Every structure is written in C-alpha cells, then in structure tokens.
Amino acid sequence: MDLYSLLGVTRAASSADIERAFRRLARRYHPGVNPGDAVAVELYRQVQEAYDILGDPDRRRRYDRGGETSDDAVEATVAFEGFDFSAPAEGPVAATFSELFADVFRQAARDKAAPARGVGLEATLELSFKDAVQGGRFPLSIVRQDRCGVCRGDGRIARAPVVCPTCGGRGATRWVRGYMVFTRACDACGGGGRLTTQACRACGGAGLQGRSEVVHVPVPPGIVSGARIAIPGRGHVNAAGGPVGDLYVTVSVAEHPHFRQVGRDLHLTLPVAIHEAVLGARIEVPTLDGPVRLKIPAGTPSGRRLRLRGRGVPPVPGVDAEAGDLIVEVQIVLPPVQDERSRELLREFGRLNEVDVRANLFGQ
C-alpha cells in the first residue's frame, strides 16, 4: 500500500502538506467522531501509521528509498489505496463512509472466518413394533452432498493457462468510490493474472455431488415414534471445508395389532373363555419372543391383570438393569349359546350359584 496515496498527497508533497492531509483525515475518521464504527478505527490506524512514517524526515527518506515499509504485514484481499481528489464525487459513486466500507470489510471478515459446519441432514426410519421394542442396528438409505470425486471439492480443474480477461493479466481490480481508491485481488484468477483452472463439469463448479449410501442406525430397545437419533458426520459436506454436518433420524414405529408399550412394559389384552376363568387353566400367551404358558387362577374375573416378568422391553445396556414386564389383562369372552341343552345347563348353574352380582351397586 502506497503511503502517499493513503494520505491523498503526491511524493513531492511538503511536510506541511502531509501534516494538513493527516489532520484532515484524522478528524474525519477519529474513533471519537465515529463511536462503535470498527471500519473508522481501522482506517484511522492506517492513516496514523502513514503519518508516523512520512511525517518523520528520516523515516520518509528511508521509505522513499524502499528501506522502510508499513508495519501492517497482513495480506488483505481488499486494500484501501488512498484518495483521488482529481475528479468530482457525484452520483452513484458518491457513497457515504459507512455505505462504502460495509461491503469491503464484511467480505474481508468472511474470507478470514473459519469454514462453517456442513448442513444437517434429516431422514425418517420406519420400524416395526417388534424391531422398535427389541432395538438393534437398522439400514437406512440416504442421499447427501459429498465432495465431488473429480475435482475433490475444489469446484475447478486444471486447464491450459490463459490471460485473465477480467483483470487483463494484472491480477487485481481497481475501483473508485467518492475520492477513495480501492484494489483487491481479481476474483476470476485469484490474483495470479492468468486463468489456470476452469469450472468442474462433473459438479458444475459447486464442488459437491449427491451421493447415495446406506447408514446403519443404532436404535436402543424400546424406542418410540417421534424419537430422534443423531449420527455425527453423516450429514452434508461443506465445499469450503469445515466439519461435516450431522444426520438426524426421526423414528416412526408401526402399531401392533395386539401389543402396546407403556414405558418399559408391554400390555396385552388376553381373551379367556368363561370356563377357563371359572375353573382355572394354563394357556399359551403370545410374546415378542414366542408363546409362553400362563396360569389362569380359578375364579379369575374379567379385567384382572397378570404379570409376566422380563417379557417386556429389553434393558438398554448401561441404562436399565432389568427388562420390562408383559402385563396381561384378562377379558372373559362368552361363547355363543345355540342349543337348548346349553341353555338348560346355564340355568342350572345359576340355581346352584345364587349370587347377586349387583349387590354393591345398592350399598348392600
């Protein structure tokens, strides 16, 4: 950066001219005049640094000979080159200070910022009731954005070098706003002045391509519909680098025709014939692991609940010490009575067992 241009003076300027230029710019961009404006602070710092060198005769001589440079060694993509008062600043080029620098320094901040994390990917895993209760690892097909295999995520591939048409081979572009002059590295050639790459045809220059793959989702036993499982590093890739996004899987569990889950327990309504409930019986009961035999005590009423321990949701390793239970609710089912002999037997049963089953309704 040329310090004379920064102050808006020529190399033939006297010490008094340099001081006047410095005081004019310092008053305009002093942080006290522009409170909270980071752009003004940066420009004031550069103007002060230029005056420290050019305002000292010995340092100015060394600078003119090329022996002293600005202390600002930071390479910037956008540089303020100074002021040009030779042309009027009118119309669209006459921007206010804040309008002028906002896009410049915002772009510089974006260039220095660390690449962001890739976008997360949402997917749905559909499970049967049994698979959800028992848990396990289940395959899920997804399509996510990954780095292009041709350009390896760069978006460009090598080509025969040609002069950059945007900057004419200079490697930088220059523009004027108001009385201020700016330069920055040419976006097209990256500051090299020659085009040595071209957009990758495989990905259209995006650096990313859709990729299909199968992910095995770890599902804990007893998961319910609506639960979300996060799988790190299986989301979309950011072409600029940075961490890969995560995969978020929402679980959808199908209903079971007989079982329902309540916490770690499973519930089942079991039809029982009247004679089995009255006399007692040992009958087979379905479970998710296969049928087991359950004892129905004599005189079991409808609605009574019987418990089969350990036949519910399996334990989650490191979380649950024991499996849940299977809760069996008895539902007495009356058989169809289609002949007179059966009716007579029921009448006889009623005469032999005269009990008022509705007595409690009347407080007796």
How crowded is residue 216: how many other Cβ atoms within 10 Å of its Cβ?
Answer: 11
Question: Please, which pLDDT band fits residue 364 given cuts at 50, 70 and 90?
Answer: very low
Residue with the larger pLDDT of the pair 111 and 140: 140
Question: Please, which pLDDT band fits residue 258 given cuts at 50, 70 and 90?
Answer: very high
Q: Using alpha carbons, select from 245, 241, 213, 211 the residue that is nearest to residue 231.
A: 245
Q: Please state which of the ranges 10-24, 85-99, 195-209 shows the lowest mean pLDDT.
A: 85-99
- Stretch 238-244: mean pLDDT, rounded? 77
Tens digits of residue pLDDT in 48-61: 888 889 888 888 88
Residue with the larger pLDDT of the pair 106 and 328: 328
Q: Using alpha carbons, select from 107, 85, 111 the residue that is nearest to residue 39.
A: 107
The whole-number pLDDT of residue 206 equals: 81
Residue with the larger pLDDT of the pair 249 and 29: 249
Residue 93 has pLDDT above 50, yes or no: no
The whole-number pLDDT of residue 350 equals: 85
Q: What are phi and psi of 91, to 5 degrees?
A: 70, -145
The whole-number pLDDT of residue 66 equals: 72
- Stretch 34-44: mean pLDDT, rounded? 73
What is the DSSP code string of 327-363?
EEEEEEEPPP--SHHHHHHHHHHHHHS---TTGGGGT
Q: Average pLDDT of the chain?
A: 82
Tens digits of residue pLDDT in 150-177: 888 788 888 888 888 888 888 887 766 5
Q: What is the value of pTM for the model shown?
A: 0.59
- Stretch 224-250: mean pLDDT, rounded? 89
What kind and span of H or E run contains 285?
strand 281-285
Tens digits of residue pLDDT in 176-215: 655 566 677 787 787 788 888 888 888 888 888 888 999 9
Fold for the domain defined by 259-362 = HSP40/DNAj peptide-binding domain (2.60.260)
Q: What are phi and psi of 205, to 5 degrees?
A: 85, 0
**Cα 202 to Cα 359: distance, rounded to the nearest angstrom:** 84
Residue with the larger pLDDT of the pair 104 and 303: 303
Residue 216 has pLDDT above 90, yes or no: yes
The whole-number pLDDT of residue 316 equals: 84
Residue 112 has pLDDT above 90, yes or no: no
Amino acid identity at 205: G
The whole-number pLDDT of residue 76 equals: 42
Residue with the larger pLDDT of the pair 68 and 169: 169
Residue 261 has pLDDT above 60, yes or no: yes
- Stretch 309-325: mean pLDDT, rounded? 87
Both tokens of residue 211?
Answer: 């990729």
The whole-number pLDDT of residue 77 equals: 47
